[in-house]
Amino acid sequence: MASTEQAFLGVEDSFSGRKWQARPVDDALATAHARALNAPDLMGRILAGRNVAPDAVEDFLNPTLKALFPDPSSFADMDAACEAVLDALLAKRCIGIFADYDVDGGTSAATLTRYFRHWGVEPNLYVPDRLTEGYGPSPEAFKRMKDAGAELVITVDCGAAAVEALEAADDIGLDIVVLDHHLMQSKPPPALAVVNPNRPDCESGCGHLAAAGVVFVMVAGLNRLARARGVSPEGGLPDQREWLDLCALGTLCDMAPLRGVNRAFVNQGLRILQQQANIGLQALAQVAGIEAPRSVYHATFMLGPRLNAGGRIGDPWLATKLLACEDRKEAIALAERLHALNEARKGMEADILGQAKIMAEQHLETNPDAGVIVVGAEGWHPGVIGIVAGRLKEAFHRPAIVIGWGDSLGPVAKGSGRSIEGVNLGDLIAQASREGVILSGGGHAMAAGLSLMPDQLDGFRAFMERHTAEKVQERAEARILVLDGVLSPSAANRDLLELLDRTGPHGADSPEPIFAMANLQPVNARRVGADHLSFEILGEDGSKLRAIAFRSADNTLGENVFAGNRVNLAGKLKADEWRGGRAVQFEVIDGALSQD
């Protein structure tokens, strides 16, 4: 999208420094969608704006596993993986599961654990410590698992690039099956099977799956193979649909694109989540204050951060244990520990973010055209620097890298970065590693990590600024807020909200509709919680609508709302949960002074 396009409502520089633009839409396609569905023009425009083809509308609006579920055998090595795992289950071999410490890894491990229990096998779980072991399997970890009795280890959400570790496992006679989804650039490492829809020779077309999705497909493959062999556990083969809540959580929290079967995973998984059959998730919802988790918001912003908290700053095993737990008392204890860790994480994050913003602002004062933010300090915890990097990226509309070291964190500094479209952060950091600017690093285009000595920080910042200096257009496009249309407060009613809900689930690659409201008078503003803002907005026709703006009480948006200045606002239409869910409110994400 070119940043030279006309600004929506004339907003060139909003309170958050963004330019508003209308989402490009094929008008003919939008009209065709509306007519085919016998729906309002707005529905047609939303579908067209998300590039939904005419023959894909039904699966987009009503995604089902029956229509969208892939053939497990279309995945490279999937048949070999299912053979190896089913053989191990039938022989009652000791199976280990090596899981990443995030939600995707935890939900994947919990799904396998629950499946194996139906076969009378309790797997040995292993989750690495973020600080002492880092991401992915190591030779030492595999040796510990073998020494503990594991004969077959399944890695979930990791392992596809762990060549050294898998070679070491081969040397000690430990069988490995890899279930991963991260990008692979070379041939698979040595293992019984490497199942990864993003390996170069995989023809499944399912590269958009999170690890939780890959595991869900494998469980289907295991059931199919068991039926073909005429074997089953006592009580029959399990119905894996019971674990769609885990699959949906992993998919959403890993920000996997909500297209294809991922839409079905999330759409049907949220229904399972609401039933609260999983004791661990039921306990977590209880401590989080959620009566019945049923939405993308509940999964992504309420449950997800708590599940991640153990891997970020505490015990990395907690989330997997909770998700696989079947004892109510144990579940409550685990959930309360995760909740407490999440509260501590939020405090750390706020402290580091405040310091990091000051550093970034000071640096931009002397170098306003810097193509990247690179900040670091002693004592910044590696478990939260990735979140802070994401906040900085949103605040300054350019890639951001946050680095921490010292105290109990060790002498080597750890960094985490988040990028914008058009700036491949993983490649740049890998280049810095090859040239000796840092110790090591790499990752994906949009997210990457690195290790360096603290005295390398200035040189690394100079390297990154030099290699992003020409990304002017990319930075301009990063500050664009794309809008789906304009609404008046009077049009924001339950009927419209239900129409918009039909286009869900919303998330990565399927954004929730964002609308502008023009020339509004904010009234009755008050602070809610630490820094949220609640107020009402009056339209030009006198209509009134409740509004909420998160983390905005102390920024420019909050200042203008408290002052009662006439504003244009951008945001999303939401159910007002505090008033029974029947009323609607406007969740404000940006604003600008009205020019009328």
Q: Please say whether the beta carbons of 593 and 566 come within 8 A.
A: yes
Q: How many residues in total does the chain contain?
A: 596
**At CB < 8 A and 24+ separation, what contacts does 434-440 make?**
435/463, 437/463, 439/412
CB count in 10 Å sphere of residue 239: 9
Q: Considering only CA atoms, which of 134, 99, 133, 128 is closest in space to residue 113?
A: 99
Distance CA 428, CA 367 (A): 20
Write out 438-485 in H/E/C secondary structure: CCEEEECCCEEEEEECHHHHHHHHHHHHHHHCCCHHHHHHHCEEEECE
Q: Alpha helix locations (H) across 4-52? A: 27-37, 41-49
Distance CA 467, CA 471 (A): 9
For the structural domain made of 69-340, what CATH number should be given? 3.90.1640.30
Q: Alpha helix locations (H) across 50-129? A: 57-61, 65-68, 78-90, 103-118
**How would you write the pLDDT of the chain (596 residues) with one tens digit per residue?**
444 578 999 999 999 999 999 999 999 999 999 999 999 999 999 999 999 999 999 999 999 999 999 999 999 999 999 999 999 999 999 999 999 989 999 999 999 999 999 999 999 999 998 878 877 899 999 999 999 999 999 999 999 989 999 999 999 999 999 999 988 877 888 999 999 999 999 999 999 999 999 999 999 999 999 999 999 999 999 999 999 999 999 999 999 999 999 999 999 999 999 999 999 999 999 999 998 898 999 999 999 999 999 988 888 899 999 999 999 999 999 999 999 999 999 999 999 999 999 999 999 999 999 999 999 999 999 889 999 999 999 999 999 999 999 766 678 999 999 999 999 998 999 999 999 999 998 878 888 899 999 999 999 999 999 999 999 999 999 999 999 999 999 999 999 999 999 999 999 999 999 999 999 999 999 999 889 999 999 999 899 999 999 999 999 999 999 999 999 999 999 988 665 556 899 999 999 999 87
Distance CA 458, CA 460 (A): 5
Q: Considering only CA atoms, which of 583, 585, 561 is closest in space to residue 573?
A: 585
Name beta bridge partners: 96: 124, 153
Distance CA 435, CA 449 (A): 16
Distance CA 217, CA 165 (A): 25
How many distinct helices (H) and strands (E) make up the chain? 22, 18
Q: Please say whether the beta carbons of 310 and 101 come within 8 A.
A: yes
CA–chain centroid gap for 71, Å, is 25
Contacts (Cβ under 8 Å, ≥6 apart) of 46: 484, 500, 503, 513
Q: Considering only CA atoms, which of 521, 106, 448, 164 is closest in space to residue 280?
A: 106
The answer to whether the pTM exceeds 0.85 is yes
Name the residue ranges covered by the structural domains of the chain.
8-23+484-593, 69-340, 367-478
For the structural domain made of 367-478, what CATH number should be given? 3.10.310.30
User: How is domain 8-23+484-593 classified at the architecture level of CATH?
Assistant: Beta Barrel (2.40)
